[in-house]
Amino acid sequence: MAGLPPISVRQPQPDDIVDDPVLVCGIGSGFEGQFAARIRDAFGAELVLMNVNGPGTVLFNFHTALPLPGVPSTSRGTVEVFEFSAKDGSEIHTQVVPIIFGRALVDPYVGFQQYTVQPGDTLSAIAQQAYGDASLYPRIFEANTNQLTDPNLIFPGQVLRIPF
């Protein structure tokens, strides 16, 4: 049986809608008990970088909050957790998790409701029902790009996240 990797991100999970600050947790180990957590937007711009410190070279539970510098310019981004190599300073053991920024969808972001698509539904109709404004359908589309590729293609039975 293989052992655990040097760094493992348990939160957020891929395509989670994250709040501000972005909460990141998992288990990890790094040279002298240090590694880093970073958030990037969809263009690769670094929004925040923080050190994570722990007790030496043992695997330890970590939990950190990474405050965003403002409302991200893109709804998609990544959380990256990695160690700086003691040998040359390069990034090693990198874990990358794709995320969706809640504040880029609706600011302030509170959370989301789940909605099961019914026959005849459209994102515009769902937006009208949820927000009182059909033109806000892109907000629902962006919150669900993990399962939607076209805002005009939704199917009965799909469970969508409606951000608030």
Domain-embedded: residue 1: no
Give the pLDDT confidence score for residue 1 in this predicted structure. 52
Report CA torsion sign: 100, 101, 106, 111: positive
Residues 103 and 109 sit within 8 Å (Cβ to Cβ): yes
CATH of the domain at 142: 3.10.350.10
In tens, the pLDDT along 86-137 reads 899 899 999 999 999 999 999 999 999 999 999 999 999 999 999 999 999 9
Domain-embedded: residue 71: yes
Fill in the amino acid letter for 153: L
Distance CA 108, CA 103 (A): 6
State the alpha helices, DSSP H only, in 1-75. Answer: none
Is 88 in the same domain as 144?
no
Is 16 in the same domain as 95?
yes
Q: Residue 51: pLDDT band by 50, 70, 90 thresholds?
A: very high
DSSP sequence for 74-127 = SSEEEEEEEEE-TTTS-EEEEEEEEEEEHHHHSSS---EEEEE--TT--HHHHH
Is 51 in the same domain as 15?
yes
Mean pLDDT, to the nearest integer, of 64-85?
96
Range of the domain at 52: 7-104
Number of domains present in the structure of the chain: 2
Is 72 in the same domain as 115?
no
- Which position has the token pair 């969706």? 100
Mean pLDDT, to the nearest integer, of 15-29?
96
Tokens of 101: 């920024």
- Which position has the token pair 């950190």? 64
Is 75 in the same domain as 132?
no
Model pTM?
A: 0.92
Distance CA 158, CA 83 (A): 38
Residue that is last in its domain, among 56, 87, 104 = 104
Is 41 in the same domain as 120?
no
